[in-house]
Amino acid sequence: MDRLLYLYDPMCGWCYGAWPRIAELAREAHVELLPTGLFAGDTRRRIDPAFAQHIVQADARIESMSGQPFSDAYRREVLGRPELPFHSRTATEALTAVAQFDPGAELDVLHAIQRERYVHGRDITDPDVLAAAIAQTLGGGPALWRERLADPAVAAATDGRVGRARHLMQRVGVQGVPALLAQRDGRTTALGIW
């Protein structure tokens, strides 16, 4: 059986759109998640009005293709607030913390974090938002998850996961996310998601 690897970024709208398909695959086979750090680089980046308009247009395409909702709260409280950071580093680290604690729960937590952004209109660069979303999904309480997210080992583990994902992308010629890879007999190949 193939080993499936899902390459994603928690702030990627197309990855949010792919969630129903990835969840379906995960019911049939083991899917390992690997964050790529697509939007994790510059923590000072913001969404200006022109970029926000581009995102709204892409979101409309994603919603029509996938059925995944993008709410008015998201457009108002995330895209409509240019002072908010636009980076996925904090959310990527949160998902790494989840993967270290319970690797089988990462997909559910990824979707919970995506819903915080795209449905509830919350800032997923905020560790308190992330800790609450994780606690609601896995239990343990927000304070416990804030402590886990603050562990310095999580940043190093995140760098390792992102490095592995980028190496695989380069090896198979994948340019962006979401991406699904299959590994069999030492070979890695890209698969279609939709």
Q: What is the pLDDT of residues 13-29, one digit of tens each?
A: 999 999 999 999 999 99
Contact assessment for residue 82 and residue 45, using Cβ atoms and an 8 Å cutoff: no
What letter would DSSP give residue 124?
Answer: T
Q: Measured between alpha carbons, how far is 131 from 144 in angstroms, rounded to an integer?
A: 8
pLDDT above 80 for 99: yes
pLDDT above 70 for 1: no
Q: Mean of the per-residue pLDDT values for the chain? A: 95
Q: Higher model confidence: residue 6 or residue 193?
A: 6
Q: Measured between alpha carbons, how far is 154 from 152 in angstroms, rounded to an integer?
A: 5
Counting Cβ atoms within 10 Å, is residue 185 exposed (0-12), middle (13-18) or buried (19+)?
exposed
The three-state secondary structure class of 137 is helix
Contact assessment for residue 59 and residue 35, using Cβ atoms and an 8 Å cutoff: no
Continuous H helices in 29-173: 49-66, 72-74, 89-101, 106-118, 127-138, 142-149, 152-172
Which residue type occupies 166?
R
pLDDT above 70 for 6: yes
> Per residue in 132-149, is it b (16+ CB within 10 Å) or e — as a string?
bbbbebbeeebeebbebb
Residue pLDDT, tens place only, 133-187: 999 999 999 999 999 999 999 999 999 999 999 999 999 999 999 999 999 998 9
Q: Measured between alpha carbons, how far is 120 from 122 in angstroms, rounded to an integer?
A: 6
Give the model's pLDDT for residue 152. Answer: 95
pLDDT above 70 for 80: yes
Query: Considering the entire predicted model, what is its pTM?
Result: 0.95
Q: What is the mean pLDDT of residues 99-127?
A: 96
The three-state secondary structure class of 187 is strand
**Which one of 3.40.50.720, 3.90.79.10, 3.40.30.10, 3.40.50.300 gives the CATH number of domain 3-191?**
3.40.30.10
Q: Measured between alpha carbons, how far is 107 from 73 in angstroms, rounded to an integer?
A: 23
Residue pLDDT, tens place only, 12-71: 999 999 999 999 999 999 999 999 999 998 888 999 999 999 999 999 999 999 999 999
Q: Measured between alpha carbons, how far is 183 from 155 in angstroms, rounded to an integer?
A: 27
Give the model's pLDDT for residue 25. Answer: 94
**Half-sphere exposure of 74 toward its Cβ, with a 13 Å CA cutoff?**
20
